[in-house]
Amino acid sequence: MKLSIVIPTFNRARLLRVTLPALACQQLEDGVDYEVLFVSNGSTDETEEVLAEAKQHWPGRFRNWRIEPTGGPSAPRNRGIREATGEVIVILDDDVRPDPDLVLQFARFHRAHPAAEDAAIGEAYVPGHLLHDPVSLFHVYPYDTIRDGAVVGYDYFWTCCVSMKRSFMLERGMFDERFLFNEDVICGHRLNRAGMRLHFVKAARGEHLHQLTTAGLPAKAEFTGRWIYATVKEIPEREVFDRYGVLSPKLGPRLYLRRLVRRLAFRVLDNPLTHAVLRGLLGAGSGQRSRWSDLHYMLLFRRGVVAGYHRARREDARRQGRDGSAWLNRGDR
């Protein structure tokens, strides 16, 4: 069995020097081989040089391409999947450093589950030396809510660490290149409708060496909110409303009420006095993660997400009122 690891990347030359050795030296067993495919999304740093060095240092392990910048990972992932020679695809983010046996764990899963519809998510975890970072809060995925080996919903199709059969992806899926964010959930939904069974393989793990900073948090929040709006328009289903905290009657009365109370609580708490106390008296601005920094940055992030969501909704309404076209139908970003 051959696996193809597909990694879209953009201006991560420094980080690639950290992740490449782990990608090059995966544990194998008889009958298992792999390749690593990088697709640069118009990088302007030393990405090409770093990958060229890697190909010289580990001959035959790496291949790479460069495409014109698209602003999101969908197009480079699609290019990598089409270029892959393995029957199994593993998709990682470019800030994930795989554990030594990640390829082997995914290979064993696919040997045990040979049907085209069987796919797997692994676990991308924040390593201990980054857990003190306040913004690591936004990179801790809720793996503790699912049981190892369980079949999970399409809203768990997280492309930081996921694997599927290449043939199934080519025939039934691929990433929607209109979407610059949440493209993984959109793809997961399409694959789910085609019969995908998504399993959680806890042993297939990698360190998530996130690059988000407190300075970049407001822009990230606004961007996230805009694409949450696009996502719920594309998939107006209960799982999506629940995942992203959007109020909708589809949640059912009990969950709707809980969400409403939570929203009101956030509005009450998100004020200058609260943030002054959190930063000045409780140390939320010290640069070390704590429950107080979690509250401080979650309030700020939520404010940006809500602003981005409503800005996108207003823009969409103006477009539809002007010429009847919807946001994504026009290819707008």
| Tens digit of each residue's pLDDT (9 = 90 or more) over 113-171 | 999 999 999 999 999 989 999 999 998 888 989 999 999 999 999 999 999 999 999 99
Q: In the predicted model, is pLDDT for residue 89 greater than 80?
A: yes
Q: In the predicted model, is pLDDT for residue 202 greater than 70?
A: yes
169 and 26 in one domain?
A: yes
pLDDT at position 332 is 42
229 and 192 in one domain?
A: no
238 and 132 in one domain?
A: no
Any idea of the CA torsion for 46, 75, 195, 150, to the nearest 10 degrees? 30
Task: Record the tokens describing residue 231, joined without a space.
Answer: 């996502």
d(CA 162, CA 166): 12
pLDDT at position 329 is 53
223 and 174 in one domain?
A: no
pLDDT at position 140 is 86
pLDDT at position 330 is 39
d(CA 270, CA 247): 19
Question: What mean pLDDT do residues 14-35 have?
Answer: 97
Task: Record the tokens describing residue 249, joined without a space.
Answer: 């009657």
192 and 265 in one domain?
A: no
The residue from 208, 243, 263 where one domain ends is: 208
Percentage of the chain with pLDDT > 90? 89
Average pLDDT of the chain to the nearest whole number: 94
pLDDT at position 333 is 38
Local structure of residue 319 (DSSP, 8 states):
H
Place of tokens 């809500």: 306
| Kind of pairing between the strands at 62-67 and 151-152 | unpaired
pLDDT at position 323 is 62
| Kind of pairing between the strands at 151-152 and 197-208 | antiparallel
Higher-pLDDT residue of 192 and 329 is 192
pLDDT digits (tens, 9 = 90+) for 257-276: 999 999 999 999 999 999 99
Place of tokens 């006095």: 273
Whichever domain contains 99, its CATH number is: 3.90.550.10
Task: Record the tokens describing residue 146, joined without a space.
Answer: 């699912």
Say if CB 97 and CB 133 are below 8 A apart: no
pLDDT grade, residue 331 (50/70/90)?
very low
Q: How far is CA 25 from the centre of its chain?
A: 24
Question: What mean pLDDT do residues 269-288 have?
Answer: 94
Question: What mean pLDDT do residues 168-186 have?
Answer: 94
Say if CB 201 and CB 147 are below 8 A apart: no
Q: In the predicted model, is pLDDT for residue 327 greater than 90?
A: no
154 and 23 in one domain?
A: yes
The residue from 208, 239, 265 where one domain ends is: 208
Q: In the predicted model, is pLDDT for residue 177 greater than 80?
A: yes
Angle at 227 between CA 252 and CA 157, to 5 degrees: 70
Q: Which has the closest alpha carbon to 118: 106, 128, 136, 131?
A: 106
| Structural domain that includes position 123 | 2-208
222 and 157 in one domain?
A: no
pLDDT grade, residue 173 (50/70/90)?
confident
Task: Record the tokens describing residue 308, joined without a space.
Answer: 């981005």
pLDDT digits (tens, 9 = 90+) for 58-78: 999 999 999 999 999 999 999
Higher-pLDDT residue of 111 and 173 is 111
pLDDT at position 321 is 75
146 and 21 in one domain?
A: yes
The residue from 151, 184, 208 where one domain ends is: 208
Q: Count structural domains, the chain.
A: 2
d(CA 36, CA 321): 47
Enclosing H/E stretch for 35: strand 33-41
Higher-pLDDT residue of 103 and 325 is 103
54 and 147 in one domain?
A: yes
pLDDT digits (tens, 9 = 90+) for 75-88: 999 999 999 999 99
Count of C-beta atoms within a 10 Å radius of residue 111: 12
254 and 166 in one domain?
A: no
Question: What mean pLDDT do residues 191-204 have?
Answer: 97
56 and 79 in one domain?
A: yes
Task: Record the tokens describing residue 256, joined without a space.
Answer: 């709707």
92 and 161 in one domain?
A: yes
Tell me the C-alpha to C-alpha distance, in Å, between residue 107 and each of 21, 84, 114. Answer: 20, 16, 10
